[in-house]
Amino acid sequence: MGRPPCCDKSNVRKGAWTPEEDAKILAYVSKHGIGNWTLVPKKAGLNRCGKSCRLRWTNYLRPDLKHDNFTPQEEDLIVELHGAIGSRLVVGFLIHSLSFPLSHLCLDSRWSLIAKQLPGRTDNDVKNHWNTKLRKKLQKMGIDPITHKPMNQVVSDFESISCLTSIGNQPMPRLNRTANNSLLTLTNSPPSSLSPMESFCSIDLVMTPTLKQPENNPINDNHLLNVLAHLQVTNYDAPQPHYLSEVSSTSASLSSTSIPSPSFSVKAESGSQNQLSCQPSVVQVTPSSPSNWSDFLLGELSEFNPIKQQDGQDLRGLLSSTSTQFQMQNKMNENQNNGSIVGNHGEASSSTNSFIEIILDLDREMQKAFPEVLNGFSDY
């Protein structure tokens, strides 16, 4: 049953490609075009896995690729898009999952999305350039490469949310950076010996092992309300032991070898725009201080527009204001004036409710305003 294997994995060549092998692929592709990569090694006379051939072609041999250095303009764009896309997928997901109409997201993967905006560059190029150059450049400038905020603001944000998220005697786990910044750890008790600067890491993640989407179930509003409630403060469960793992700091994300992926990706499935596929895994949170939720959210609204992204249009255009953004701002302001948005530590519960209510209110308003457009997105 099933397909036959594409190649004898134990008997294929690995490692660097020779010019002769490159020439074979180029000759094959120029003659037959790209199609089924599993056939390419046999037909091109290569002792390689089809997957390896595909990678060589897409990352190196494609004639439209640039092989020169990244220009300052390209670097600026990568930083800009990384800031817009990079680490804020989850809140977009939450908004989306609460049926917020403008955010029926199609969250393409980060590097490929950025690479699409840079003609002649691959996702691998962009990823490598980010990891080796741009991330360090930002760090030298005192900017956190994950949140794209000044380091001191990230620290104060984290201090704020740390205060908020202690429940009874159960402190929020803390992400720590070792003295040489080489490792990140997640601990369940405040490391009193560390200064704020030492103890924060990329602050971007709060691991919440209880917040898994039920497998194979469509996203469900009740579940997501629970998620939001968890995120905002209540019922924070202690992390499981395996979360107390060392992780690489190179990407500030948790190592996939020892810990479940922290990403929570959401995609509109091709061919059925109303269906979401959800990879159940640990939720990734960007804990700006609660008082910054509105800023944070407004960013999300302008940044994630799946229709434009699918059309491959310039993502930077998405950063402009929208009427909904103003509505959100107004709603936030109203609630702030009413004292219901958390500005002070310890008002988390009302903040949670307000946050959810704001989203649902806006959702209802948008549904009223554009029923014919939005009805299709209310099913999940």
Partner DNA sequence: AAAAGGCTCAACCGCGTACCT
Partner DNA sequence: TAGGTACGCGGTTGAGCCTTT
**Which spans of this chain sit near DNA (rule: CB under 7 A)?**
1-6, 13-17, 36-38, 50-52, 54-56, 59-60, 67, 69, 108-113, 123-125, 127-129, 131-133, 136, 247-248, 250-251, 253, 255-257, 261, 263, 265, 267, 269-271, 277-279, 281
- For the bound state, the minimum distance from the C-beta of residue 86 to DNA, rounded and expressed in Å, comes to 9
- For the bound state, the minimum distance from the C-beta of residue 335 to DNA, rounded and expressed in Å, comes to 34
d(C-alpha 255, C-alpha 271), whole Å: 33
Q: Which residues lie below 8 Å from residue 22, measured CB to CB, with a gap of 6+?
A: 56, 60, 61
User: For DNA, which is the closer residue by CB, 11 or 257?
Assistant: 257
- For the bound state, the minimum distance from the C-beta of residue 209 to DNA, rounded and expressed in Å, comes to 14
User: For DNA, which is the closer residue by CB, 13 or 308?
Assistant: 13
Tokens, residue 146: 């994950």
Per-residue burial over 193-204, b = 16 or more CB atoms within 10 Å of its CB, e = otherwise: ebeeeebbbbbb
Query: By the 8 A CB rule, do 285 and 208 touch?
Result: yes
d(C-alpha 262, C-alpha 186), whole Å: 13
User: For DNA, which is the closer residue by CB, 49 or 233?
Assistant: 49
User: For DNA, which is the closer residue by CB, 105 or 332?
Assistant: 105
How many helical (H) and strand (E) elements, i.e. helices and strands, does the chain have? Answer: 16, 5
- For the bound state, the minimum distance from the C-beta of residue 196 to DNA, rounded and expressed in Å, comes to 25
User: For DNA, which is the closer residue by CB, 152 or 256?
Assistant: 256
User: For DNA, which is the closer residue by CB, 193 or 270?
Assistant: 270
Per-residue burial over 264-295, b = 16 or more CB atoms within 10 Å of its CB, e = otherwise: bbbbbeeeeeeebebeebbbbbbbbbbbbbbe
> SS3 for 215?
coil
Find the angle CA(157)-CA(348)-CA(156) to the nearest 5 degrees: 10
- For the bound state, the minimum distance from the C-beta of residue 179 to DNA, rounded and expressed in Å, comes to 15
- For the bound state, the minimum distance from the C-beta of residue 243 to DNA, rounded and expressed in Å, comes to 14
Strand ranges (E), the chain: 174-177, 183-187, 247-248, 266-268, 276-278
User: For DNA, which is the closer residue by CB, 110 or 331?
Assistant: 110
d(C-alpha 367, C-alpha 97), whole Å: 15
- For the bound state, the minimum distance from the C-beta of residue 334 to DNA, rounded and expressed in Å, comes to 37
